[in-house]
Chain A
Amino acid sequence: MDVDTGLIEQVRRRVTIGDSLAPTVAAGVIGLGALILLIGGERVPSGSLSGANLWFIALLLVCFAVGFALMRWTGPAAVWVANTFTGQDLDYRPLRDTAPWKYLGFVAGCTFVIAALISAVQGRLTLQALLVGLGASLAMIAVFDWPFDNLLLPPNGDV
């Protein structure tokens, strides 16, 4: 186990509980639950995970991966494009709390995730999905950013 102390430790001639005991008890509890299920004391129908469920999880993870990548890199990419046109040598990090730069990544990533999930459920990409995504991201900016100086929208705490 990835723990440095045992179940019981002796420190300065005093016996104390070591860091291993609690995770061991937790593992024992999981084992007890498995035993209860195995010995068949239960008469309730169990749920299951279908192939379609796994596809949905994969779809969800792809949406998040693309959305978060957009969130992380749209701002720096926009600064790079601006530098190309203006000849300046700006960096995204000092601009991460300055409008409109600080909103670019959030709006792009958030709109993408929302629109992608709505489209997945509807089975087609619609303008409505994009507008809901865009409207929701702007509303979240209004809720989390405008009233507070001390809050950072994603991804501005990481850059």
Chain B
Amino acid sequence: MTVFDYIWLGILAVFQGPEAFSLFGVAISMTIVMVLSGFLLGIAVGATPGLAGPMAMAISLPILISVFGFSPDALLPVMGFLIGVMKGATIGGAVPAILFNTPGTPDSYMTTLDGYPMTRAGYAKKALKIAHFSSATGDTFSDIVLILTAPFLALLVEAYLDLPEKTALLIFSLGFIASVVGGSVGKGVISMGLGLLAVFIGTGEDFYPRLSMGTQALAQGFPIATSVLGVLVLGEVFKSLDDLWQDRRNTRETQAPTQAADQSLRWSDIRKLLPYIGRSAVIGTAIGALPGIGSTLAATMGYGSSARRHAAKRPEATQFGQGAAEGIAATEAANSSVSGANMIPVLSLGIPGNAAAVFLILATESIGGFNPGPTVFKFTTDTVNPELVMAFGLFTIMMIANLFNWTIGGAFMRVVGVMARVPKHLLLPVVLMLTLTAIYVQETRLSAMWAAIGFGLLGYLMRRVGMSPLPFVIAFILGDKLEETARQAFAATGGDPWFLFTNPIAAVLVGLTLLVLVLAIRKPTEIKP
């Protein structure tokens, strides 16, 4: 088996998987249908203020698993749908930002600054076309970087990192995420500690399930879907409902401005936008590759960097914040280029970098047969490594999603503008019950719904006191893995309690963790989850 054989097998796994239907005698695979469905749903969800890609991914997951089951054949269609949602939601967020001055997702806030002035000036369609073109370009660039770097990073990790170093890498990742996510290092660290504490309940190697207080409910531990959906989705819904309850006001009605006749995006326009798109795509990809730093920071940095350059180089042109097409391009290219790059730590290290990646990892854990991490990229020549085939299948899925984005994404974006008019106070209670029902059909216990509400309240309180819930969720996902790796490292080093400091690479990673913490304390960040 050569590398090219693996790539070809990955492509075939997507195109020759289970057949959905036949079109003019050509079998259309279920995976492709699911990528398209997820992508269109993602655009609609992104275009709806109050909803976000991770919410749709969370609610879809139990339904997808019920449809496709737990067989290896299920992985590509399920992941295809989720990746489609992730990509679609990113570009969908620009729609209400441009048309109604309401960001559909937090990372499209900067798009409102120039998108809505363009709409008011009569160029709504053109603004949407610019957002789509920039988003698709940034996304494609990021995916190419992912495909080129993830396998090499994984090979490096596998070649140079043994058990103590892998333990240190997990500690570094958690420390990094806790330090950079949210506005407070102390709160990020507490959030991470709470996540670790929660995942250690009811687990362990002893016969007695630890911290279970002798109860059967705690002895089984908290199911990962219940806690993650509770903290991430229900916590957000509770906070939004509370805000609406306090405000007691509905979405403002907006007057539709008169639109210009010529809304086409010409090559001369694109040529002017390309430097801004390129700069933002690089910024977004670099930020996306770091775990924990999300697309909102990428959009802010892409916008800020391009705004300074624009003001210096083209002082005579429309400036950022006043309806500059370049402002939309810079923001959308930056936030979209995060979605491919954030798969780099997922696939090469098994570490989720943001909420969307959390649900991709949850899907692989639920279905089984594919464990994201360095072992995925083990090139075996005598036997087939099925995980590597799946990895190339995932890359193929991402490129198919990009193809849909380039071909029909723009047209669909213009259609879903109506979603921005759905009132939040009607939508959020429905999302709440939809999430609870999705949890119930997996766990079939009312106590699981109460547990999710408990985690939702925890997520709500975290948001209220300015604590990001993302370190909690990532610690919850990685906690078991951290303990298992540490146990193995301890055993492999003959019970050396200093194994994190006696191996040079592990010691460097632990040192880096402390350095990141100290630097973050000295200079508080402004990054939001």
Contact = CB atoms under 8 A, between A and B. Distances in A.
B491 A30 contact: no
Contact of B208 (A4, A147, A154): A4
Contacts of B193: 26-33
Interface string B433-477: 110111011011110011001000100110111110000000000
B67 A118 contact: no
A41 B522 contact: yes
A3 B67 contact: no
A29 B210 contact: no
A158 B445 contact: yes
A72 B446 CA distance: 9
Nearest to B183: A44
A40 B287 CA distance: 28
B200 interface: yes
B477 to A, nearest CB: 14
B309 interface: no
A14 interface: yes
A43 B184 CA distance: 8
Nearest to B487: A17
B186 to A, nearest CB: 4
Secondary structure dominating the interface of B: helix
Nearest to A132: B426
Interface residues of A, number: 77
Interface in B397-420: none
A121 B241 contact: yes
Given A2-B212, A16-B490, A30-B190, A46 B241 contact: no
Interface string B163-202: 0000000000000001000011111111111101100100
A150 B213 CA distance: 33
Chain A CB within 10 Å — which of B188, B193, B207, B248 has the most? B193
Contacts of A17: 483, 486-487, 490
A120 B444 CA distance: 29
B352 to A, nearest CB: 19
Given A33-B190, A140-B434, A155-B446, A53 B486 contact: no
B440 A123 contact: no
A151 interface: yes
B495 A15 contact: yes
Contacts of B487: 16-17
A25 B483 CA distance: 10
A75 B95 CA distance: 44
A35 to B, nearest CB: 8
Size category of the binding interface on chain B: 35 or more
A37 B63 contact: no
B457 to A, nearest CB: 7
A90 to B, nearest CB: 22
A29 B192 contact: yes
B204 A19 contact: yes
B465 A132 contact: no
Contact of B245 (A3, A26, A56, A137): A56
B433 A110 contact: yes
A56 to B, nearest CB: 4
Contact of B242 (A15, A22, A53): A53
A117 B241 contact: yes
A87 interface: no
B433 A140 contact: yes
Interface string A45-57: 1111100110011
Given A68-B449, A148-B66, A23 B524 contact: no
Nearest to B525: A44
B192 to A, nearest CB: 6
Nearest to A109: B433
Given A44-B524, A121-B241, A29 B437 contact: no
Contacts of A125: none
A136 interface: yes
B432 interface: yes
Contact of B246 (A8, A30, A52): A52
A33 B425 contact: no
Centre residue among A25, A48, A59, A150 by max chain B CB count within 10 A = A25
A117 B465 CA distance: 23
Contacts of B521: 36, 41-42
B238 interface: yes
Contacts of A137: 433
Contacts of B211: 1-3, 23
B253 interface: no
6 contacts: A3-B204, A26-B200, A113-B432, A136-B433, A150-B66, A157-B440
List the 4 closest A-B pairs by CB distance, nearest first: A157-B444, A33-B189, A33-B190, A29-B193
